[in-house]
Amino acid sequence: MKNLSRLGFVFFICIVVPLLSMAQSVQTNTFIQGVVNFDDQYEAVLNFPESKAEDNNMIVPISKSGNFAFKFPLQKWSFVKLTIIPKARNQQLALNFPLYLQPGSKTSMQLNYNDTSYLTLKANNLSGSNKALVLYSNYRYQKMKYWYMYPPKTDEVKTAMMQYFDQVKKLDAKYKIGSTAVRNYLQAWAMNDYIDNLTSQSARNKEMKLDQLVFDIPLSPAVVYNKPQALMLSETFRCLDEYVRVMNTSNIEEINPAKKTASKMNFVKKQFTNEAIKNLFYERELAEYIRKFRITDKTNFEADQNTFNKLADFISSTEKKNELINQFSNLQYTLAGASLPPIHLKDRNGNEVALSNFKGKNIYIDLWASWCIPCIQEIPNLHQLEEEYKDKNIVFLSISIDEDKTAWQNKMKELKLEGHQLETGASGFEKMMNVQGIPHFILYDSDGKLLHYKAPRPGTQEIRNIFNSLK
């Protein structure tokens, strides 16, 4: 009997447990079919906000008659975001809304869009929860237009913005939302709309001041943002940051950036229990701290680094903490006199090129991208400057930060770009140099020391004066 029991246990461990695990990980094809009153100049994009993949979008064409279809695997009930967008990105965004789908489900819908009523949901097989999600998307769009044209009076703003929460309650009552996840999502969406619109109305109305009273509401942000669905909305961090700014009165007079940041993060640590939302806040706050930080004295940088390391201790992920610490450490490369960073770039053929290879010449770097119109407008000036100083000890490097390498290659061919055309590859050069916008020009001397972190643009007399003084 003992042997049989052992055999049964072994069978359970070796056969049943793996089968259960496989069942949990099976992905089932899921379908969305739709028709919309757009033509083939538009395309449909499906985004998976719960996915951790870098590229979590699916794009399908829309036919001339407005039909589109998605087929994709799902492992569990999941949120997806459907967007209909023009192929010509110079046009305005058409429409977008979330859906909450079961693996293996087949969703169909007929949509009608116009500039007045935004989105009308016609024939469909949507669940009550998904109807609520689509209709709330429509409601908020119409309200956003209305508040812009007819802003409420100062003493009526809070009451007016409470309508977002009222609409969620109405949709819940009408469509009997059975999913807690959908209800949490809608509440977070309404909270973001409430805070966003209060902030925008405050910016337009100088008489209005946001204070703690605006958050004296039945549904507290501290409750709403503790739910995991809040993280699926891109506006959540911005709205959470505004909530913290208003409610954290302990650092109103604080001017030291490190102490101010620590105060905000301590406030979030006390207010929230959701580790994911806390870590999101810490990471974004520290990324902003790095972005705004400027080294003024190299001798104090070690102390600055120690201060930042202590701030990074708020983050639970060792990998993310070390990544941010390294980003802060790299700021030393932005200080005048700093050496060339020890990185490798890639040329147009994919070959690695060490930045140090150009040491011995003065190095004028243009950081740009194929999609950056101001960058492209500077290219004729750059060519002219390079021609004027072709006999001087200066090398011109154009370094693309394009993620889409094909777009970079195509733009080089279109513009007939020659010379040293490079891309950042895996170097992270633009992050290392804390570049906040492009085009961004950098100048090193022939010894590989940083002369100008933000060098003048190629079309200016100022850069010519600098070049004329170089040895």
What confidence tens digit (pLDDT) does each residue in 258-309 have?
999 999 999 999 999 999 999 999 999 999 999 888 887 778 888 999 999 9
Neighbours of 193 (CB within 10 A): 24
**Ramachandran sector of residue 66 (left: φ over 0; alpha: ψ -120 to 50; beta: rest):** left
What pLDDT is stored for residue 4 in this prediction?
46
Residue 93 has pLDDT above 90, yes or no: no
Of the candidates 441, 439, 450, the residue with the CA atom closest to the CA atom of residue 295: 450
- Residue pair 134/119 in contact by the 8 Å Cβ criterion: yes
What pLDDT is stored for residue 115 in this prediction?
82
| pLDDT confidence tier of residue 91, bands split at 50, 70 and 90 | low
C-alpha to C-alpha distance for 405 and 426, rounded to whole angstroms = 12
The mean pLDDT of 417-430, rounded to a whole number, is 91
The mean pLDDT of 411-427, rounded to a whole number, is 91
The mean pLDDT of 30-50, rounded to a whole number, is 93
At 383-403, the pLDDT tens digits run 999 999 999 999 999 999 998
Residue 250 has pLDDT above 80, yes or no: no
C-alpha to C-alpha distance for 459 and 323, rounded to whole angstroms = 37
Of the candidates 58, 134, 130, 125, the residue with the CA atom closest to the CA atom of residue 100: 130
Of the candidates 307, 291, 296, the residue with the CA atom closest to the CA atom of residue 256: 307
Residue 121 has pLDDT above 50, yes or no: yes
What pLDDT is stored for residue 14 in this prediction?
53
> What separation in angstroms does the CA of 466 have from each of 396, 398, 471?
15, 19, 10
| pLDDT confidence tier of residue 90, bands split at 50, 70 and 90 | low
- Residue pair 70/108 in contact by the 8 Å Cβ criterion: no
φ, ψ for residue 48, nearest 5 deg: -115, 90
C-alpha to C-alpha distance for 396 and 390, rounded to whole angstroms = 10
The mean pLDDT of 132-144, rounded to a whole number, is 94
Question: Is-above-0.85 flag for pTM?
Answer: no
Residue 351 has pLDDT above 60, yes or no: yes
At 2-36, the pLDDT tens digits run 454 554 544 445 554 454 444 455 789 999 999 99
Of the candidates 103, 141, 129, 139, the residue with the CA atom closest to the CA atom of residue 184: 129
At 183-237, the pLDDT tens digits run 999 999 999 999 999 998 888 877 777 788 888 888 899 999 999 999 999 999 9
The mean pLDDT of 139-149, rounded to a whole number, is 91
Q: Over pLDDT 70: what percentage of the chain? A: 92
**Taking the C-alpha atoms of 309, 314, 316 and 317 in order, what is their torsion angle to the nearest 10 degrees?**
-40
